[in-house]
Chains A and B, each alone.
Chain A
């Protein structure tokens, strides 16, 4: 009798209390976001844009107790912009020799500035779910697309976009300083 009462007490008091504590802790974490300003100033020179296509496909065989599988296939388009971040640019980064018509400018190495995967350019091409499985939820589809986004980010070094951005930066500064009357323009990436 006594044991039954204890078990009842555990289920009626302790477990709900634990669940409530768990919930309150989670919500506290959710609201603990870093303070961000709505408007921020940047100085970035975007020099090249790559439009890339990627197929994102996933196969969900499920756990052993689930019967059947699910497959999904997306095609998406992403826009990658690369350029140089000029926020650290100072007067000391330009060295001029006007008498000889020479100028040297030092800028940071090119970096990926943005990756943009518009949701309107993500197409669901194929979706197959067997009878005993539930269809892909919005959350699951989003998780799959996140993996695709990560894969695109990871592929940046192999795309040659940074090299292209530095090539364009060289052309950009050469054109600018040539207009100022300089005959020799040296662009150094640090």
Chain B
């Protein structure tokens, strides 16, 4: 008895067929497309233009370093809607935009030797009388590489970020004041000038001017 062959029929709907063709096309395109370089953010090379050259005579003797956390928050479109208000007031959800930046800054202090006139340094025998200018903050440095965006939600414009970053400067100065950076810079400047003058053969170096933040012992002491 002859065995009957079973007929298997597969019915494919036109939609499935169409999808399969599309998938195949996509796969084919991806496989055969020429390998390009990874298309990421491209920073173009531009020249650095020197705008101004200034002669300095800054004796930098003390630096203050600190890490700060800068936090900013602002309302967004959703938080101003009734739904946002409900989420905030009714459920205690924070619906505002937030930006948290870590800033690592440096304050450099010292004396500006260009502020000295000819009378501020007098050589009498083996003694030198020096009147140093008051120490001041020479630089407050927080560069782009010193900022780290730790958390960011919502859209923050460049101006808003700059305003937040600007607060780092004030806080760094407060910290420098707290640690008495100017006084340390002045002491460092006296030390540096003493080393230089002693090396030049002078035995006695007298500083005959002291800024207000240096407390010298009174003659009675």
Point out the residues of chain B lying under 8 angstroms from A56, CB to CB. 43, 46
Residues on B close to A: CB < 8 A?
A: 36, 38-66, 99, 101, 108, 110, 113, 118, 121, 123, 138-145, 147-149, 152, 155-156, 158-159, 161-162, 165-166, 175, 179, 181, 184, 188, 192, 195-196, 198-201
Report the Cα distance A94→B58, complex, angstroms.
21
Give the top 9 A-B pairs by smallest Cβ distance, nearest first. Answer: A145-B144, A46-B58, A139-B149, A124-B158, A119-B165, A51-B52, A91-B199, A155-B48, A147-B43
Closest to B33 in A: A64
CB of B203 to closest CB in A, whole Å: 13
A83-B65 in contact given A51-B51, A181-B123 (Cβ < 8 Å): no
Taking the nearest CB of chain B, how far is it from the CB of A62, in angstroms? 6
List 17 additional contacts besides A115-B141, A116-B141, A124-B159; criterion CB under 8 Å: A39-B181, A43-B59, A43-B60, A46-B56, A49-B54, A49-B56, A50-B50, A52-B49, A54-B48, A61-B42, A91-B199, A94-B199, A114-B141, A141-B161, A143-B41, A179-B118, A181-B123
Please state if B49 and A54 are interface contacts (CB–CB under 8 Å): yes
Instruction: Contact check, A103 vs B200: say whether CB atoms are below 8 A apart.
Output: yes
Contacting pair A142 B144 (CB below 8 A): yes
Say yes or no: B60 contacts A119, CB within 8 Å.
no
| Cα-based distance from A122 to B63 in the complex (angstroms) | 24
Q: Is the CB of A119 within 8 A of B142?
A: yes
CB distance from A49 to the nearest CB of B (A): 4
B196 partner residues in chain A, CB cutoff 8 A: 86, 89
**Can you name 30 A-B residue pairings with CB atoms under 8 Å?**
A38-B64, A39-B179, A39-B184, A41-B63, A44-B61, A45-B58, A46-B56, A51-B52, A57-B46, A58-B43, A58-B44, A61-B39, A62-B40, A63-B40, A64-B36, A64-B39, A81-B56, A83-B58, A89-B195, A91-B195, A114-B108, A115-B141, A116-B139, A119-B147, A138-B101, A138-B156, A139-B152, A151-B45, A151-B48, A155-B48
Contact A48 B149 (CB under 8 A): no
Q: Tell whether, in the assembled complex, residue B166 and residue A94 are in contact, meaning their CB atoms are under 8 Å apart.
A: no
Are A39's CB and B64's CB within 8 A? yes
Q: How far, in angstroms, from A93 to B200 measured CA to CA in the complex?
A: 10
